[in-house]
Structure 1
Amino acid sequence: MCGRYVSTRGPDDLARQFQIADQDLGDPLPPSWNVAPTDEVWAVLERPPRDASTGAPAARHLRRLRWGLVPSWARDTKIGARLINARVETVHEKPAFRRAFARRRCLLPADGFYEWQRIEDRETGRTRKQPYFIHAADDQVMALAGLYEYWRDPDARHDDDPSAWLTTCTIITTEATDAAGRVHPRMPLTVADEHYDVWLDPSHQDTGALRDLLEQPAGGRLDARPVSAAVNNVRNNGPQLVDAVAGPETGPTPPDRDPGP
């Protein structure tokens, strides 16, 4: 599971990295070292023109989406808090995700992500959760593989009312290996830059080929360092959250098995 991550790059930097020509980015999101479910996040996506008769190709955009996918058929938005992750093993067939996986894929830029490891205190017998910041060994931005979906508020009277629509997203996860696997059994998947075009193109709908594009963050070259428990509180933010702290002095218990959505 990926339940928190770090996203500090500004829209201009992201537009350059992801080759986004659309410069109407709206109000920029502030950098966050503690992105939490239901927060607004940056997402890179491609959409075809509204007038399909022009024959113009899909255009790439940088958009603000809410983290926690709300399917179009949901009665209300509460389900989004439970759908922050989609398992790669079943993403192409689960009712909440399969339509988005076929047509509405995105990239969620991240500096890294947090996972928690259960640590047992041998003196007291109690367990606590030690947070770790997991990031690319070269500190490059990760392009987390995501999906997005549109949800219309049934109480809104008009489709052209901006408040009638909510656009949300989820992160695709897999079994964790390497540094992440020693902390938690699940981890987010990413898309390499040479595959951005295919992943984002809504006309590509071969689910098998699309799943083959997904890979471990940084090709598995990850570093994990213990950080302060201050990250546990969503109200805390700032670069100090990713500073290394002294590691746990007692041995870890086996990672929790996360069934996921």
Structure 2
Amino acid sequence: MCGRYSLSKSKIELEERYQAEMLADFKPRYNIAPTQLVPVITSESPKGFSFFYWGITPDFGQNKPVSQKLINAKAETIHEKISFKSSFQKRRCLIPADGFFEWKKLGKKTKIPYRFTLRNEETFSFAGIWEEYETVSGESQHTFLILTTKPNELVEEVHDRMPVILSREQEKKWLDSYTSETELQSMLQPFPVELMVSYTVSPLVNSVQNDSPGILRRTSPMDQFGNYTLFG
């Protein structure tokens, strides 16, 4: 599962990285959570960042509350699921990020937050799919979710799933409507462990209300209550 990530780069850095135009008032994000409006790149508009909501409501339950929205989809079965098959074939997107968070369980009541980044601290892209549907009020809304796969050796120490991270070479193919389904599926693999690092962060990340640079700082291992622990 991937339920929280960061995009702390500036507007200029993101425009240079993706060769796409960003909204003038964009501000770095340090603790992105489901249901929030965040930037993505789609094949329909590759020269500009689109802003979609994180979380897709299944076709069979569009009136479900936000809390029941799906935020991830398993890469292993994405091409088979009726609710995702069309999006996988026609509506793929890149989700810019520079880190993601997972919580390591150390007992029934103890969890330690970790941040995972690339070793070079560069911006990367999650593989995503998006959907458009009409709200109860008749408005058009765009949403997305992040594809996940089995973890590499680094993430495995903390969680049993990790988001699919695409290489730069794979990004263009992911957005290309002519890329075969076989080739798309071949991209949905754990990211090379030797290119990643992780470290513990403050339990401030637990609250979606906290969205400041301090969340990204390396911190001695603390549980969700702010108590220091010997376990990392």
Contact 1:2/1:173 (<8 A) preserved: yes
Contact 2:31/2:208 (<8 A) preserved: yes
Per-residue CA deviation, residues 139-184 of structure 1 (Å, 9 max, x unaligned), is 111211111110112442xxxxxxx110000000011122211011
Specify the alignment match of 2:216 in structure 1.
Answer: 242
Query: How many Å separate the matches in 1 of 2:10 and 2:60?
Result: 33
Specify the alignment match of 1:166 in structure 2.
Answer: 141
Candidates 49, 55, 68, aligned match of 1:68: 55
Secondary structure (helix, strand or coil) at the match of 1:96 reads helix
Candidates 75, 93, 101, aligned match of 1:88: 75
27-36 or 174-183, which deviates more: 27-36
Contact 2:130/2:143 (<8 A) preserved: yes
TM-score by length of 1: 0.78
Query: How many Å separate the matches in 1 of 2:90 and 2:177?
Result: 5
Contact 1:68/1:169 (<8 A) preserved: yes
Candidates 104, 117, 120, aligned match of 1:135: 117
Specify the alignment match of 2:88 in structure 1.
Answer: 101
Runs of 5+ unmatched residues, structure 2:
222-228
Q: Mark the CA change 1:74 to 1:226 in structure 2 (over 3 Å): closer, same or farther.
A: same
Q: Mark the CA change 1:232 to 1:59 in structure 2 (over 3 Å): closer, same or farther.
A: closer
Matched, 1:148 2:130: yes
Contact 1:46/1:61 (<8 A) preserved: no
Q: Mark the CA change 1:241 to 1:7 in structure 2 (over 3 Å): closer, same or farther.
A: same
Query: How many Å separate the matches in 2 of 1:72 and 1:8?
Result: 33
Deviation of residue 2 (structure 1)?
0.5
Percent of aligned positions with the same letter in both sequences?
30
Contact 1:72/1:152 (<8 A) preserved: no
Matched, 1:31 2:28: yes
Deviation of residue 15 (structure 1)?
2.5
Candidates 141, 157, 161, aligned match of 1:182: 157
Contact 1:92/1:101 (<8 A) preserved: yes
TM-score by length of 2: 0.87
Matched, 1:196 2:171: yes
The amino acid across from 1:168 in the alignment is T
Q: Mark the CA change 1:4 to 1:167 in structure 2 (over 3 Å): closer, same or farther.
A: same
Aligned residue runs from structure 1 range 206-221, under 5 A:
206-217=180-191, 220-221=194-195
Larger radius of gyration: 1
Query: How many Å separate the matches in 2 of 1:81 and 1:203?
Result: 33
Query: How many Å separate the matches in 2 of 1:112 and 1:89?
Result: 23
Per-residue CA deviation, residues 35-64 of structure 1 (Å, 9 max, x unaligned), is 0000111101111xxxxxxxxxx7543111
Contact 1:45/1:106 (<8 A) preserved: yes
Query: How many Å separate the matches in 2 of 1:197 and 1:42?
Result: 17
Aligned-pair Cα RMSD in Å: 2.2
Query: How many Å separate the matches in 2 of 1:245 and 1:42?
Result: 28
The amino acid across from 1:242 in the alignment is L
Count the aligned residue pairs: 225
Secondary structure (helix, strand or coil) at the match of 1:209 reads helix
Q: Mark the CA change 1:228 to 1:128 in structure 2 (over 3 Å): closer, same or farther.
A: same
Runs of 5+ unmatched residues, structure 1:
48-57, 121-125, 157-163, 252-261
Query: How many Å separate the matches in 1 of 2:128 and 2:15?
Result: 18
Secondary structure (helix, strand or coil) at the match of 1:127 reads coil
Specify the alignment match of 1:10 in structure 2.
Answer: 10
Deviation of residue 192 (structure 1)?
1.2
Query: How many Å separate the matches in 1 of 2:30 and 2:209?
Result: 11
